[in-house]
Amino acid sequence: MKTPTAFQLLRALTPTELNQLDAFLSSPAFNRRLEMVRLLAWWQNNRHEKLDKKKIFRQVMPDKPYLSQDWYLLISRFTKLVESFLVWQELQQDELEQYPFLLRNLRRRRKARLFQRSMKQARALHQKRREHTAYLLYRAYDLEQEYYDYIASHNRQASTNLQEMSDRLDEFFIAEKLKQACLEHSRSIANQEAYDIYFLEAIEHQLQLRPALLAVPAIQVYHACYRAVVRGGDRSTFQRLRQAMETHQHGFPKQEIRDLYLLAINFCIHALNRGEEGFAQEAFTLYGQSLQQGYLLEDGHIPESTFGNIVSLGLKLNRFDWVTDFIRERACFLRPEFQKSLPSYALAKLAYEQRLLAEALQLLVTVEARQPFLYFGAKTLQLKVFYELGEWDALDSLLESLRVYLQRHPDLGYHREHYLLLLQFARRLLQLSPVDQQARAALREEINDAKAFREREWFLRQLE
């Protein structure tokens, strides 16, 4: 028997929520059918048993013979009640969410005095909220719309709040569109997903005509992010983003401010890849702040790429003791399948930077590089160690294995270009004659011109 939708929903509830659902179903205000309470009780006591609809039906409705259509009606009604409970539960979590429904009801009942009182309470509650989300801007618009409907239904000749309603809608629309543009940029980097976010040029034009809109925190933060990160701004636009985030970060949910931190960090990483070394400290500071605030955790875990980037930045800034402590203290926050291999790789990078080349090779042997990012990271580090130790046969074998891997995995996105360049430049470096200054200069120029190449600094050092 296929598991009914209602039972799938019940599995998602906590024990406390199941008790609340029991109280919900037992209340005549929500349910007058005793079989619904019995069905919940049966599920709580027998959830691990194999589902037998006839047996369940007999226990829940003992006075009625089993009929297939009655079973499906029972389950359908129960599903609707569970879904109603979830909606009710959500409404209890946010008082502001309840006011549009209350105001609409009072308007329809033509209770003018009660409507005015509730509207005043709703606006006061909205003002007290220390949040800057686009969602809250929409709630402000929602309240103004209810007030407009109230005025228009009582006296069509009276002045309305249509201007305020339009202004609140503009604020929500602009903030949400800018947010979507930033999220699209983030998705395009991480997953090569492409979306068309419209009206951005019109929004830029409106913000030039109406600069007061930038006083709205959600617009200010997301516009700064859009200009710096999406449009590829300079250091001054990045600093405006940092200032806006620092000023307003406590007004955003943790997920939103986490996304903003990661976008700002991505800006720094791209600037570093362009050779702007000053952004290493900026990115390191951002990582430190977001670690301290707990913004970097996803479902309780540090993403592998984030862990690796933090280690790389710490090593770039010669913060060896800090990196050692970070690996030891934060490895337990990695997903279980990475808790051994990724710290080993990170410690190998640390050993390499401390010029402990033999130790770095020993650590790399323990790295289970099943994921492409870990495979290429380990192979790149081995390449450097083999070259610096003069292990030419081992290096030649390594380059061949890289070539085969790239041939078998064409779906590496923008990383593929970097590793093809790594392979090409490493081959040419090996073939260089020590006295051929012309070939050395040509290779140096090509490496400098390769914008997608992230190992430029090491290769240029070898050419010197």
CA distances from 210 to 82, 161, 165, 179 (A): 47, 20, 17, 19
How many alpha carbons fall within 13 Å on the CB side of residue 447?
24
pTM: 0.78
Query: Which residues, given as ranges, of the chain have pLDDT below 50?
Result: none
User: What b-and-e string marks burial along 245-282, b requiring 16 or more CB atoms within 10 Å of the CB?
Assistant: beebbebbeeebbbbbbbbbbbbbbebbeeeeeebbeb
Write the single-letter amino acid at 146.
Answer: E
Q: Locate the domains of the chain by residue range.
A: 5-93, 372-464
Beta carbons of 203 and 174 less than 8 angstroms apart = yes
pLDDT of residue 140: 93
Q: In the block, which residue shows the tokens 């307003």?
A: 248
pLDDT of residue 297: 85
pLDDT of residue 200: 95
Name the DSSP letter for residue 342.
Answer: H
pLDDT of residue 36: 96
What is the signed CA dihedral for 157, 163, 165, 168, rounded to 10 degrees? -170
Alpha carbons 81 and 85: distance in angstroms, whole number:
6
CA distances from 354 to 74, 83, 283, 315, 380 (A): 69, 59, 22, 9, 17
First and final CA of the chain: distance in angstroms? Answer: 72
Q: pLDDT tens digits for 131-176?
A: 889 999 999 999 999 999 988 877 677 788 999 999 999 999 999 9
pLDDT of residue 2: 82
Alpha carbons 398 and 202: distance in angstroms, whole number:
53
Beta bridge partners of 301: 298
In three-state secondary structure terms, 298 is strand
Beta carbons of 226 and 178 less than 8 angstroms apart = yes
Please list the alpha-helical segments (H only) found in 109-133. 112-128
pLDDT of residue 328: 94
pLDDT of residue 75: 95
CA distances from 370 to 341, 373, 379, 414 (A): 10, 9, 12, 19
Answer left, alpha or beta for residue 119, where phi above 0 means left and psi between -120 and 50 means alpha. Answer: alpha
